[in-house]
Amino acid sequence: MTTTEAGAGAPSSGDRATDIVTDHDRGIHGYHHQKQEHLKRLRRIEGQIRGLQRMVDEDVYCIDILTQVSASTKALQSFALQLLEEHLRHCVADAAVKGGDEIDAKVKEATQAIARMLRT
């Protein structure tokens, strides 16, 4: 996360949230620096799913298909966990720097995402 003081050297307005400009303000998400690796990983997962379709089409034994389903599910869960970590390090940390209501909203958002992941 990169932060710069807006108007460095100028008198502060006293509102810290308006003085700080972060990557998040510039539309850069937590996964931005790992984007190509994430896309590569998602393409591998997509290949696993296509493999499942092919297995069903070829009447492969049920347990073999279920094994592949489990591997695909674990791959998606692992991807989701990495994305969550990046969200916490970037978006939630950004909100913490700014303070105020934004941090509460980001923590609530992250907590809800974790709850959704746990339900699966």
| pLDDT number for residue 21 | 55
pTM: 0.69
Rounded Cα gap, residues 7 and 104, in angstroms: 27
Cβ burial of 95 (10 Å; 0-12, 13-18, 19+) is buried
Amino acid identity of residue 7, one-letter, is G
- Angle at which helices 62-87 and 35-57 pack, to 10 degrees? 160
- Burial pattern 20-48, b for ≥16 Cβ within 10 A else e, equals bebbbeeeeebbeeeeeeeeebeeebeeb
| pLDDT number for residue 10 | 40
Residues of the chain whose pLDDT is less than 70? Answer: 1-32, 120
